[in-house]
Amino acid sequence: MPQVDLNSDLGESFGCYTIGMDEEVIPLVTSCNIACGFHAGDPSVMRKTVALAREAGIGIGAHPGYQDAQGFGRRPFDITPDEAYDIMVYQIGALAGVCAAQGARLQHVKPHGALYNRAAADAPFAASVARAVRDVDPGLVLVGLANGQLVSAGRALGMRVAEEYFVDRNYDDTGLLANRRLPGAIIADADLAIERAIHVVMEGSTTSMSGKEIDMHADTICIHGDGSKALAFARLIRERFAVAGIGIARMGLPD
């Protein structure tokens, strides 16, 4: 039976602002990516989210991004690979400390937003991002876009990597995520999104926005936790995967 991890980006609330439905989503996923205070989150939210994930027994990941709360980390910043290394180490270290204080341990690192997208396409940038993760803890799983430069950089360093597929996103002909501003870049039809995800897991390919068939392997599938329909969608994808004979298993655990 094929197996795949389900992950969700959580811990994105900060101060008096609540974003997402973390408590409801956590029982439905096997791994979570916790914001580290740059694009979202704050120390108290990080602590609370780690506690929820630890109690649920799901994998805990750091979700470092650009220091851009106003743009939610989705705006590109012209930083150097060395600067990327520094902000990665800083944010991973912050969440690792929060985990250590609660007897928990980081499982993986998944960059966020525009930083993630640049690491998928820019080889020198990806190499610095991967090196930062390895230097903090070589046992961490590095999560990157399937077929992207970050996955290649992690493998070159001998790291454990997890290739990620986005269930609610369309892809361009190169296998990168289609720009969110393009019509059709975000898949709103839940049935279509899940049908495509099942095809990726079972057949190892997907179709780009132009109709091109692209090889695509998925170790983990992202379910965004901040949408109004996130909870219903997470339940539905688990149901449909069970019917299709796809198991749900946490990434990073021994076979």
> Token pair of 10, please?
């959580």
DSSP assignment of 196-241 equals HHHHHHHHSEEE-TTS-EEE---SEEE--SSSTTHHHHHHHHHHHH
In a domain, 55, yes or no: yes
Tell me the three state secondary structure of residue 161: strand
Residues 101-160: tens digit of each pLDDT: 999 999 999 999 999 999 999 999 999 999 999 999 999 999 999 999 999 999 999 999
Residue 81 inside a domain? The answer is: yes
Q: Indicate whether 255 belongs to any domain.
A: no
Report whether pLDDT(227) > 90. no
**SS3 of the chain: helix, strand, coil, percent, to 5:** 40, 20, 40
Nearest Cα residue to 192 out of 184, 202, 203: 184
Using DSSP bridges, classify how beta strands 3-10 and 220-222 pair: parallel, antiparallel or unpaired.
parallel
Helix (H, G, I), strand (E, B) or coil at 142: strand
CA distances (Å), origin 58, targets 66, 107, 225, 236: 25, 9, 15, 19
Q: Does the residue 253 lie in any domain? A: no
Helix (H, G, I), strand (E, B) or coil at 77: coil
Is the pLDDT reported for residue 162 higher than 70?
Answer: yes
At residue 71's C-alpha, the angle toward residues 216 and 225, to 5°, is 50
Domain presence at residue 108: yes
Here the CATH number for the domain that contains residue 64 is 3.20.20.370
- So what's the pLDDT on residue 254? 47
Number of residues that this document lists for the chain: 255
Average pLDDT, the chain: 94
Q: Is residue 254 part of a domain?
A: no
Q: How many domains does the chain have?
A: 1
DSSP state of 137: -
For residue 67, being part of any structural domain is answered with yes
**What is the extent of the structural domain holding 91?**
3-248
Compute CA 17 distance to the chain's CA centroid, rounded to the nearest angstrom. 22
Dihedral (Cα; 230, 49, 198, 148), 10-degree rounding = 110
Q: Which pTM does this prediction carry?
A: 0.94
Contacts of residue 181, defined as CB under 8 A and 6 or more positions apart, other chains included, come to none
Please give the share of the chain, as a percent, with pLDDT higher than 70. 97
Does residue 53 sit within a domain?
Answer: yes
